[in-house]
Copies of this chain bind each other. A is one copy, B any other.
Amino acid sequence: MNGWLAIAGLGPGDDAMVTPEVSDALAEATDVIGYIPYVARVAPRDGLTLHPSDNRVELDRARHALELARAGHRVVVVSSGDPGVFAMAAAIFEAVEHGDPAWALLDIRVLPGITAMLAAAARAGAPLGHDFCAINLSDNLKPQAIIDRRVRLAAEADFAIAFYNPRSRARPDGLATALAILRDTCADRRPILFARAVSTAQEHLHVVALPDARAELADMRTVVIVGSSRTRMVPGTRFLYTPRSAA
Contact = CB atoms under 8 A, between A and B. Distances in A.
Main secondary structure of the interface of A (DSSP, over half): mixed
A176 to B, nearest CB: 19
A132 B129 contact: no
Given A84-B126, A84-B128, A96-B239, A142 B246 contact: yes
A197 interface: no
Say how many copies of this protein the assembly contains.
Answer: 2
A163 to B, nearest CB: 10
A170 interface: no
Contacts of A11: 19
Contact of A150 (B15, B118, B157): B157
Interface in A44-64: 58
A135 interface: yes
B17 A112 contact: yes
Contact of A246 (B92, B125, B146): B146
Interface stretch (A32-40, A215-223, A229-237): A229-237
